[in-house]
């Protein structure tokens, strides 16, 4: 699961204004990556996130998907998330809605709570959050207020809605666009792998 730092599990970095994606990334799909931009005086976004090759993101997204599978095996909803710092996983978390009897215990919220306990504000602010599914509105708020400014996700909210139903469906980019500070968002990616974790888990949404 990547290198562990002092018994903790996952994290990365955030810096400057957002440059254009390189041609080798952009050619994969114009929908694959969308960067939220803000004025120059807002918190900067890591250029390494935008310029990194596709396979650099895929390895961490696959780890998030594996965490989602782990969550399902533990009787929880199939979602996982991790933080990467300087190219190393430093924190991981899974959804624990069922076992904790807490509907807010999403993978991202659990991850950020752990980050607050184990990482400095500077480390959190330089982190990239990878998640198996596009963050919901609640998780977007916690991501933003924790000052994480780079997010990469696998399954889109729209894809999840097909499987689980469109309950409170708000694409994360719409929410981040309303924020004062810049947030870089990459996704969806590895959609088929991310979807497979959910197949057979959700009851069919009511017509």
Residues marked as catalytic: 108
Radius of gyration of the chain (CA): 16
CB 64 within 8 A of CB 80: yes
- Distance CA(175)–CA(69), nearest Å, equals 27
Q: Residue 188's CB: how many other CB atoms inside 10 A? A: 22
Interatomic CA distance for residues 189 and 159, integer angstroms? 12
Q: How many CA atoms lie within 13 A of 183 on its CB side?
A: 23
Distance of alpha carbon 26 from its chain centroid, rounded? 20
Label the pairing between strands 184-186 and 150-155.
parallel
Q: Which helix (H) or strand (E) holds 33?
A: strand 33-35
User: How many whole angstroms separate alpha carbon 58 and alpha carbon 74?
Assistant: 24
Give the CA angle between residues 135, 127, 161 to the nearest 5°. Answer: 10
């Amino acid at each position: 699961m990547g290198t562990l730092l002092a018994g903790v599990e996952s994290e990365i970095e955030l810096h400057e204004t957002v440059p254009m994606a390189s041609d080798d990334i952009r050619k994969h799909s114009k929908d694959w990556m969308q960067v939220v931009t803000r004025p120059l005086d807002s918190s900067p976004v890591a250029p390494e996130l935008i310029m990194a090759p596709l396979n650099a993101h895929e390895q961490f997204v696959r780890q998030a998907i594996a965490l989602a599978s782990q969550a399902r095996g533990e009787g929880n909803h199939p979602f996982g998330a991790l933080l990467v710092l300087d190219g190393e996983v430093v924190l991981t978390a899974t959804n624990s809605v069922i076992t904790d009897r807490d509907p807010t215990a999403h993978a991202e919220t659990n991850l950020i709570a752990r980050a607050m306990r184990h990482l400095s504000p500077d480390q959190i602010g330089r982190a990239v959050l990878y998640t198996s599914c596009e963050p919901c509105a609640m998780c977007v708020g916690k991501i933003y207020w924790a000052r994480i400014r780079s997010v990469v996700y696998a399954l889109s909210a729209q894809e999840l809605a097909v499987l689980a139903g469109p309950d409170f469906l708000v694409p994360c980019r719409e929410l981040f666009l309303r924020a004062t500070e810049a947030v870089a968002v990459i996704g969806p990616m590895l959609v088929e792998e991310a979807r497979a974790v959910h197949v057979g888990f959700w009851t069919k949404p009511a017509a």
